[in-house]
Amino acid sequence: MRMRGALCKVLSALQEHEQKRKTPTRPGKLSLRRRSPTPTGSASFNPMEGASEATAARLANFLKFVPIPGFKPPRKK
């Protein structure tokens, strides 16, 4: 009879433990966002397509490299 009483205590303790474990202490993980596949259309994109001559000239002037004092260009191999 003692074995049966001890077994009942162990079983009730396990049930209590399971009930306590089922209550979440923190929210579950968020689902990961999947990256959408890259479009299979034209791979090359020309930003100057359809731009006026003035816009193209302004952009070309803006993108010119202006060396600053102390700049050392990379050595050619």
Q: How far apart are CA 60 and CA 58, in angstroms?
A: 5
**End-to-end Cα distance, the chain:** 89
Question: pTM to 2 decimals?
Answer: 0.25
Asked if residue 13 is part of any domain, the answer here is yes
Indicate whether 77 belongs to any domain. Answer: no
Average pLDDT, 10 consecutive residues per value, the chain (77 residues) = 71 74 71 74 66 83 81 82
Which residues constitute the domain of residue 53?
3-64
The DSSP secondary-structure symbol of 16 reads H
pLDDT of res. 50: 77
Domain count, the chain: 1
Q: Can you tell me the distance from the alpha carbon of 66 to that of 69, in angstroms, rounded to the nearest whole number?
A: 10
- Asked whether residue 76 is domain-assigned, the answer is no
